Amino acid sequence: MNQKIINFDHSYLSSRNAASILRRNVEEEIGRGNRVLFDLSGVESISPSYCDELFAILAQNIGENSFARHVAFVTPKRHLIESISVAIVERLPGKSLQTA
């Protein structure tokens, strides 16, 4: 399994449209069997709509098991992971993002 690292150009992620475009690209990478690593080192804040569009809809579209196998976070910041987890739980009740 190859890995694709996603770096972010902005410290505040808020555009649902940008998240939608990125999600489709990530879905293509996962469809090729690749693992996607999100590098959050330069990110300070993520809006709820961005979290929903990128991470929660991704989890919904590819399934919980595939999400766990193919998605990881580099330099995760607790407050960002919590925001992502909230979005997933709101979209997929009974689910949560498990992080080490």
Domain boundaries, the chain: 3-91
Amino acid at 88: I
First to last CA, the chain: 21
Displacement of CA 81 from its chain's centroid (Å): 9
**β-bridge pairing 71-74 and 35-39:** parallel
CATH (one of 3.30.310, 3.30.420, 3.90.320, 3.30.750) for 3-91: 3.30.750
pTM reported for the whole predicted model: 0.90
pLDDT, tens only, 22-80:
999 999 999 999 999 999 999 999 999 999 999 999 999 999 899 999 999 998 899 99
